Structure 1
Amino acid sequence: MGQWQDFTTGERLKVLRGKETQDSVAARSMLSLHTVRKAEQNGNVSLPTLLRLAEAYHTDVAVILGQQSPRRGMSPDDRAMLRELSRTVHDTAAGILMDPAEGVAPGPADLAEAASRMWRVYWRGAYTDAGALAAPFLRSVALYAHAAPADQQAAASALLSDGYRAAGLIANFLGARDLAYAAIGHAIRYADLAADPVRSSMLGSARARVLLRDARVDQALREAEGAAARNEPTFSEQGSALLAAYGKNITFAAVAASRLGDSARAADLLSQAHAVAARLGRDIYRNGMQFGPSYAGAQAVSVNVSLGNAGRALEIAGRFDPSGLTQAAHNRMMLDVALAQCDARQWDTSLDTLLEVCSAHPEWSRHQAIPGVIIQRVGHASTSRIRKLSAILGTSPTVR
């Protein structure tokens, strides 16, 4: 059997289908038989179709596009980091702590600084580096929590929740779905022990993110909406952090609704998110969470791309100020812009935008599905650009 990345998308879909009939796949994915056949014939499919096929095959869209193998094709550094992160998550959850003799027992101030450093790296989109920081952070917090007096246990639980949430988000991004689910579950437990409404609310969008990456879109929508409903603040009396967490959940629900093609629901949720962002008046950054006008604007671009409103997406992207976005959020918005340009048949412009993002952030880009979608759809437009992108992404050129 050849290398997974050397197959065409259609060939990969056939391998994933195995002995199952195309009719069965169509029924499970809620796609037409014609769409399933067309996907296997030429692999030129839309992102919503890819999401439904990924759900039907219980895999990631990046696997279908050849960016990852079915067993997670990733770099040695990614694999080493994930092994250490996985061991740390499971050890600390089981009460297996590092030996205090390995270093000075951490204090709250040291842990707070370590958490800030970890989230700064995460916001840059350097997820392998963030994971390398998350593992020792989590071990240190577990040791601190074990020795903390009763009056410090709530603070220790809050820090443990942050560590597990970071581990879950990083694992999710790199396609380690089992670790992501486990880590987010531990994060929820410790947020409850900390009795911290902000952290509990933030975990709604975190769990929804894992569900969405796992192509469980309906459940992602229910999770995000449910988390928003459980933690809905009163604008006049709640702090900005809780309001930001609420807005993040509403925004993520809008994203999930758009992936389901529910334009009315997505528009309503997005309107609510913009109202919350306007109330805040600025972007809030706390414990790895960002929400505010910049974030809501970027997600409005994504929602409109998913709904097929390319012109509207490009209009939004052209008139709002993205300077408040984290690097990772800005990168993702530019991928959405490139996809909107592709949908608008601005082939060369789309490839230029994609090449700019992928050249500046190659490690981040290799774990994204959108570059593969665009390359397949506009590969005929520019052979040289496709070859450059394929070299960056570590895939075989697909030029028609």
Structure 2
Amino acid sequence: MSHWSELTTGERVKMLRGKASQETIAERSGVSLHTLRKLEQGGNVALPTLVKIAEGLHTEVSVILGQQAPRRGMSTEDRAMLRALSQAVHDTAAGILLDPAEDAAPGLADLTEAAERMWRIYFRGAYADAGVLAAPFLRSAALYARHAPVGKEAAGAALLSDAYRACGLIANFLGARDLAYSAVGHAMRYAELAADPVRVSMLGSARARVLLRDNRVEQALREAEAAAARNEPTFSEQGSKLLVAYGKNIVFGAVAASRLGDSERTADLMSQAHAVAARLGRDVFTSGMQFGPSYAGAQAVGVNVALGNAGRALDIAARFDSTGLTQASHNRMMLDIALAQCDVRQWDTALDTLLEVCTDHSDWARHQAIPSVIIQRASRASTSRLRKLSQILGTSPI
């Protein structure tokens, strides 16, 4: 499969289809037979259509776009990190712990500091580096929970929930879907044991994120909206953490609704998200989550791209202040901007935008499916730009 990235998108779809007929896959995907035939014959289709076809083929968009080969071609260090992450999740869930001497047991202050350090790296979009810290953090959190002093049991469970959630999110970004589902499930268990409504609410958006990556868009929408409804803050609620978690759930509901093409539901959810962001007044960071005016603005760019409102997306991007965004969120918004530029036929500008992100943050970009979508759609642009991007992403030029 070393040549997988060298195939066209249509050739990959045809190979993934196997013995199934075009009619069967078109019906299963919810797209027209004409659209599927057009794609297999070398034509281009929009990202939401690719998502539907991926679901019909029981695969991921990244596979259709040739992004799996770079994932299988991870560096030795990254593969070792993912193995360590998997072992930590499964060992701790099974109660397999390396129990140190009593005086070597981790303390709450040290674990809190370790968590903050891990999340700072995660916010930069350095998911592999964050994963290097997440595995030992999870094992240490499990040890603390086992030896937690009387009265600190809830704190131990909360730490474990955060650690599992981090492992799940990192695994999700790196394409380890089964590990992501497992880790997020363990995170929910310990959030409930901690009786912590904020952490329970946080896991709504985490679950929705994993479901979206798995193309289970309708389920992602239901999960995000249900999580928001279960933990909707009252107007007297003073804790910003619950508002952050609530706002994040609302946004992920909007993202899912936009991918389903439901513009009315998307608009309603984004209106709620902007209201929560205005209530916070600033972007707030807590336990690996960000929400506030900048984050809501960036997501507004993305949902408008998904709905086909490229002009609106570019207008939002030009007007709002993105300085409050994390590096990872800023990178993702830049990809959405490049997609919008493709939609308005600004091919070279789209590749310039993509080049900026991929040059400065190549490790992050290699784990994203959207760069290949942009390259495919902007194939009429400068050949030199396409070559540069292919070298950075480790794929073949169109």
What is the TM-score with the length of structure 1 in the denominator?
Answer: 0.97
Supply the AA of the counterpart residue of 1:83. Answer: R
* Counterpart residue number, 2:36: 36
- How far apart are 1:6 and its partner, in Å? 1.4
| Percent of paired sites with the same residue | 76
2:320 aligns to what?
320
1:325-381 CA-to-partner distances (Å, cap 9, x unmatched) read 000000000110111111111111111000000000001001111110111111121
Equivalence for 2:12: 12
The residue number in structure 1 matching 2:396 is 396
- Give 1:96 shift: 0.5
How far residue 78 of structure 1 moved from its aligned partner, in angstroms, is: 2.2
Is the CA contact 2:251–2:270 (under 8 Å) kept in the aligned structure 1?
Answer: yes
Q: Give me the TM-score of the superposition, normalised by structure 2.
A: 0.98
Q: Secondary structure at the match of 1:10?
A: helix
Distance 1:27 1:103 in 2: 62
Residues 58, 214 of structure 1: 8 Å contact kept: no
Task: Give the structure 1 partner of residue 218 of structure 2.
Answer: 218
Q: 1:106 to 1:300 in 2, by over 3 A?
A: same
Once superposed, what is the RMSD of the aligned Cα atoms?
1.4
> Aligned letter for 2:150?
A
* 1:80 aligns to 2:54 (yes or no): no
Contact 2:71/2:367 (<8 A) preserved: no
Do the aligned partners of residues 267 and 77 (structure 1) sit closer, same or farther apart at CA in structure 2, a change above 3 Å counting? same
- Tell me the matched-pair count: 398
Is residue 235–residue 243 contact of structure 1 (8 Å, CA) maintained in 2?
no
Matched residue SS, 1:290: strand
2:192 equivalent in structure 1:
192
Cα distance in structure 2, aligned partners of 1:153 and 1:356? 47
What is aligned with 2:353?
353
Counterpart contact for 1:67–1:393, Cα < 8 Å: no
Specify whether residues 178 and 2 from structure 1 end up closer, same or farther in structure 2 by C-alpha distance, changes over 3 A only. Answer: closer
The equivalent residue for 2:377 is 377
1:301 alignment partner AA: V
Contact persistence 1:302–1:333 (CA under 8 A): yes
Q: SS of 1:35's equivalent?
A: helix
CA distance in 1, matches of 2:348, 2:70: 31
1:140 aligns with 2:150: no
**Structure 1: gaps of 5 or more residues:** none
Equivalent position SS for 1:20: coil
C-alpha contact 2:2 2:69 (8 A) present in aligned 1: no
Q: Say if 1:102 and 1:26 are closer, same or farther in 2 by CA, change over 3 A.
A: farther
Q: Deviations along 1:275-307, whole A, 9 cap, x unmatched?
A: 110111011100000000000000000000000
Code of the residue aligned with 1:47 in structure 2: it is: L
The aligned runs of 1:119-268 (5 Å cut-off) are 119-268=119-268
Which letter does structure 1 place at the counterpart of 2:373?
V
Give 1:150 deviation, angstroms: 3.2
Deviates more, 1:160-169 or 1:68-77: 68-77
Residue matched to 1:21 = 21
Deviates more, 1:321-330 or 1:92-101: 92-101
Displacement of 1:77: 2.4
**Are the equivalent residues in 1 in contact too, given 2:70–2:366 (CA < 8 A)?**
no
Q: Deviations 1:196-246 (Å, cap 9, x if unpaired)?
A: 111100100000000000000000000000100011110222411101110
Question: Is 1:340 the equivalent of 2:340?
Answer: yes
Q: Which amino acid aligns with 2:127?
A: Y
Q: Which amino acid aligns with 1:77?
A: E
Which position in structure 1 is the counterpart of 2:387? 387
What is the alpha-carbon distance in structure 1 between the residues aligned to residue 40 and residue 70 of structure 2?
17
Query: 2:293 matched to which residue of 1?
Result: 293
Alpha-carbon distance in structure 2 between the residues aligned to 1:252 and 1:93 = 28
Structure-2 separation of matches of 1:43 and 1:66 = 16
